[in-house]
Amino acid sequence: MLSPPSNSKSANRGAFGRVIFATQIYPPDSTTTATYLGKIANAFSADAEVVVLSATKRSGSPAAGARANPFVIELKSFQSGKHALIGRAASVLGLAASMFYSVLKMARQDDLVFCVTNPFTLPYAVVFAAKLRGAATVLLIYDLYPEALEAAGFIGSASPLNKFLRLLNGFIFRALDRIVVVGRDVPPLLSKYQGVDPTKIHFIPNWTFLPVGYRELAASNQFRPRDKAHLVVGLSGNLGFTHDPCTVFEAAKLLRGESGIHFLLSGWGVGWKQLKNLQAAEQLPNVTLLESVHAEHLTEFLSAADIWAIPYRRNMAGVSVPSRLYNLLAIGRAIIVSAEDHSEAAIEIRDEKIGWVVPPEEPERLAEAIRAAAMNLSDVAQMGRLAAEAARKYTEEIALASYRDLVRRLESSAR
């Protein structure tokens, strides 16, 4: 079952025998993270044999016929039971055990093992197994644990679980050959772990899935509200535990008497349910709720607003992936981010001069920034044009070339 592919795309191979790619989610899962990981694995396959260990259903490569590269081995999925918390714990522990066994059985000394941080138990199992086999290791940090759990209030700073995970992290981070981060706000958190070599840390941001270019505002846009508002503020995406959409709704309440400002709110997740409940109770006339649009309408939908809000909860700098930022840059829109000044999204907005940064969970400050935007529409449009230019740094080609270069440099150091 765990045999590697027998052929390859390229005859030009590096020092590593194979790249073993360990991840819970992978295409055909359609989530943004799965799409990114599929692209990264494909990029590696241009230079090496790639074996993907995936827990996504229907992701496995066909057993018959020519072997694919990447060659995907689908591990058994561990489903949550009726009791959600217990079921999820059993699922992540079961996946970690399965990954440990698979990497231990497959990896060789001349292999590179590439792992992702989701779920948080995965790196401990994968890196430990890889080191037992003498393989090189790279960890891609999307969400940093236990920092994310602590910031969300799931565990306390002095809890035994927090202390235990931080102890494990210290061993893992020191043992890794390379660490990839998708935000410039992550290395300061990693530096708090004693003995972590900063030269091992590489910043490779995510990329946009949309064609880059400024989109003019159009009255014919089917998603733009039909009232007299001259500034439309948008919110979209997965509204999970790292985001605080209620801050945007509270800002809308503060601005309900200003007819020139309208809020177009969309998304999914627990935060989306909160927004629907809030609007059902308040019936704000300056708020339009819209269920998530299909991918083919995403460009038009994102083009419907003048400015987009990204509302983070407190203490999320370095622990949350800023993926939605890049699509907003690509379509050419100004952005207001509610986040700490040192967060990745805040750094980008401030450096490129493409919007406003306000403290998280402060609707009054968010409302002030929106009011300022409404009074300077020409500035907002110029910020959008600058955003589209900034997006040219965040293309798939640039990001994947960085991943391939990382592996080549690691190969060179291993010789």
In a domain, residue 12? The reply is no
Same domain membership, residue 406 and residue 383: no
Is 187 found in the same domain as 78? yes
- Do residue 196 and residue 235 come from a single domain? no
Same domain, 65 and 80: yes
Reported confidence tier of residue 2, pLDDT bands at 50, 70, 90: very low
In a domain, residue 339? The reply is yes
Instruction: Please give, one letter per residue, the 3-state secondary structure of 209-267.
Output: CCCCCCCCCCCCCCCCCCCCCCEEEEECCECCCCECHHHHHHHHHHCCCCCCEEEEEEE
State the Cα–Cα distance between residues 197 and 179, nearest whole angstrom: 10
Confidence label for 399 from pLDDT (cuts 50, 70 and 90):
very high
Band of pLDDT at residue 84, cut at 50, 70 and 90: low
Residues 345 and 294 in one domain: yes
Q: Are residues 87 and 199 in the same domain?
A: yes
Query: 252-290 pLDDT, tens per residue?
Result: 999 999 989 999 999 999 999 999 999 999 999 999 999
Place 9 in a pLDDT band, splitting at 50, 70 and 90: very low
Q: How many CB atoms lie within 10 A of CB 145?
A: 21
pLDDT band at 46 (very low <50, low <70, confident <90, very high): very high
Q: In which band, very low, low, confident or very high, does the pLDDT at 10 lie, cut at 50, 70 and 90? A: very low
Q: Which helix (H) or strand (E) holds 89?
A: helix 84-106
Q: Tell me the C-alpha distance between 4 and 20, whole Å.
A: 9
- Whether 176 and 240 map to the same domain: the answer is no
Whether the per-residue pLDDT at 226 is higher than 60: the answer is yes
Question: What's the pLDDT band for 355 if we cut at 50, 70, 90?
Answer: very high
pLDDT, the chain, mean = 91
Residue 289 domain-assigned? yes
Please tell me the total count of domains within the chain.
2
In a domain, 11, yes or no: no
Position 79 scores a pLDDT of 59
Residue at 362 is within a domain: yes
Residue 15's pLDDT is what? 66
User: What pTM was estimated for this model as a whole?
Assistant: 0.89
Give me the pLDDT at residue 182, please: 95
153 within some domain: yes
| In-domain check, residue 215 | no
Residue 26 above 80 pLDDT? yes
Domain boundaries, position 271: 231-393
Contact 318, 147 (CB under 8 A): yes
Phi first, then psi: what are they for 410, rounded to 5°? -70, -35
CATH of the domain at 294: 3.40.50.2000
pLDDT band per the 50, 70, 90 thresholds, residue 219: confident
The confidence score (pLDDT) of residue 280 equals 97
One domain for residues 142 and 254: no
Whether 266 maps to a domain, the answer reads yes
Mean pLDDT of 47-67: 92
State whether 102 and 192 are in the same domain. Answer: yes
State residue 154's pLDDT score. Answer: 86
pLDDT at 172 over 50: yes
Indicate if 274 and 186 belong to the same structural domain.
no
Residue 49 has pLDDT above 60, yes or no: yes
pLDDT confidence tier of residue 83, bands split at 50, 70 and 90: low
Q: Are residues 387 and 404 in the same domain?
A: no
Same structural domain for residues 92 and 128?
Answer: yes
* Lowest-pLDDT choice from 87-96, 179-188, 300-309, 349-358: 87-96
